[in-house]
């Protein structure tokens, strides 16, 4: 199920109820059931769906509704607010400051979309007047530096990396030092992923982190990985303690409920979403506009 379908289904469930002539408790329960089914099918964590169900029931409190109350508005608002809560960890994401170096390190599994998203983010800040650059600290995957180089060249973003070094922490530190000297304001460090969460990857992440002391670590999560997203994001959180999430491939055939559940599991805000393979396919994320758009 794609993300838009999830929105349409939830919207339809609410509209069916609020348009129906006999808005009774049975119809209300039916609406909640349909919303929960849609969320579960989209891979949202079952506990979160349970909490949402209880909260909507509690807020609307159908049995004790005073006759004068506008039931439709109350129900619509309760659904909207609870969906917002699902994607809102109430944590302020880091905001880079102009006139100083802001070092941003990317982490995530191989194929999540790190390299692509690094360039997108550098371009995003560059177009907002920041002096931005990229450092490739992936010495594990052959071709990683070439890929970053190609993307960076296309976007006219300065980059640093090594074709021969086997020490990612050293390459990262060299790149960051060089760009700090050159007064870059956004220094984005791409790191290696592996196919699985494994000890080598986590050791490497820790080494790079202590070598460059990033101002912000961002976890890149693929929207299409479904339920695994939660365990993955927790494991990365324990090691890399990232402060923000970017969800990629939201244009694909997945509703991304797993990735959305990662927000709740790690209390970490989503800051951007990737909406395609192109450089400009990056959208800022904030909970309320996202849910408004989802519900159309």
Which residue, chain included where needed, has tokens 């099918």? 41
| Cβ–Cβ < 8 Å for 101, 185 | yes
Contacting residue, 7, 89, 96, 113, with ligand GDP by CB under 6 A: 113
What is the smallest separation between the CB atom of 277 and ligand GDP, expressed in angstroms? 4
| Cβ–Cβ < 8 Å for 172, 107 | no
Comparing CB distances to ligand GDP, the nearer of 15 and 286 is 286
Based on the shown chain and the rule CB under 6 A, indicate whether residue 139 belongs to the binding site for ligand GDP.
Answer: no
| Cβ–Cβ < 8 Å for 64, 57 | no
Q: Which of the residues 144 through 183 are near ligand GDP (CB under 6 A)? A: none
CB under 8 Å to 51, separation ≥6 — which residues? none
Candidate ranges 62-70, 129-137, 236-244, 268-276; the one touching ligand GDP (CB under 6 A): 268-276
Based on the shown chain and the rule CB under 6 A, indicate whether residue 108 belongs to the binding site for ligand GDP.
Answer: yes
What is the smallest separation between the CB atom of 110 and ligand GDP, expressed in angstroms? 4
How many residues at the interface with ligand GDP, by CB under 6 A? Answer: 19
The SS3 of residue 206 is helix
Q: What is the 3-state secondary structure (H, E, C) of 154-180?
A: HCCCCEECCCCCCCHHHHHHHHHHHHH
First to last CA, the chain: 17
Enter the tokens of residue 49: 């769906």
| Cβ–Cβ < 8 Å for 294, 6 | yes
Based on the shown chain and the rule CB under 6 A, indicate whether residue 252 belongs to the binding site for ligand GDP.
Answer: yes
Based on the shown chain and the rule CB under 6 A, indicate whether residue 248 belongs to the binding site for ligand GDP.
Answer: yes
| Closest residue to bound ligand GDP by CB | 274
* DSSP for residue 184: -
Candidate ranges 103-111, 156-164, 179-187, 237-245; the one touching ligand GDP (CB under 6 A): 103-111
Based on the shown chain and the rule CB under 6 A, indicate whether residue 226 belongs to the binding site for ligand GDP.
Answer: no
Contacting residue, 89, 193, 256, 257, with ligand GDP by CB under 6 A: 193
Based on the shown chain and the rule CB under 6 A, indicate whether residue 251 belongs to the binding site for ligand GDP.
Answer: yes
CB under 8 Å to 61, separation ≥6 — which residues? none
| Binding site residues, ligand GDP, CB under 6 A | 108, 110-117, 193, 248-249, 251-252, 274-277, 281
């Amino acid at each position: 199920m794609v993300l838009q379908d999830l929105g349409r289904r939830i919207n339809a469930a609410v509209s069916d109820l609020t348009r129906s002539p006999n808005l009774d408790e049975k119809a209300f329960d039916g609406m909640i059931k349909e919303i929960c089914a849609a969320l579960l099918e989209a891979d949202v964590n079952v506990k979160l769906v349970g909490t949402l169900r209880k909260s909507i029931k509690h807020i609307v409190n159908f049995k004790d509704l005073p006759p004068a109350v506008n039931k439709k508005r109350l129900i619509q608002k309760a659904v909207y607010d609870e969906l917002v809560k699902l994607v809102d960890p109430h944590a302020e994401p880091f905001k880079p400051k102009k006139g100083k170096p802001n070092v941003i390190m990317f982490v995530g599994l191989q194929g999540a979309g790190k390299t692509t998203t690094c360039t997108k983010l550098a371009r995003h800040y560059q177009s907002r007047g920041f002096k931005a650059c990229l450092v490739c600290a992936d010495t594990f995957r052959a071709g990683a530096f070439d890929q970053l180089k190609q993307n960076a060249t296309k976007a006219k973003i300065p980059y640093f990396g090594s074709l021969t070094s086997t020490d990612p922490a050293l390459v990262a530190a060299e790149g960051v030092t060089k760009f700090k000297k050159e007064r870059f304001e956004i220094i984005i460090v791409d790191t290696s992923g592996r196919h699985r969460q494994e000890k080598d990857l986590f050791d490497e992440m820790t080494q790079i982190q202590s070598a460059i002391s990033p101002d912000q670590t961002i976890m890149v999560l693929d929207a299409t990985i479904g339920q695994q997203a939660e365990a993955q994001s927790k494991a990365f959180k324990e090691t890399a303690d990232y402060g923000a999430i970017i969800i990629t491939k939201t244009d694909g055939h997945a509703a991304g409920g797993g990735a959305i559940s990662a927000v709740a599991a790690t209390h970490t805000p989503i800051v951007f979403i990737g909406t395609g393979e192109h450089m400009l396919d990056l959208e800022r994320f904030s909970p309320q506009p996202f849910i408004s758009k989802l519900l159309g």
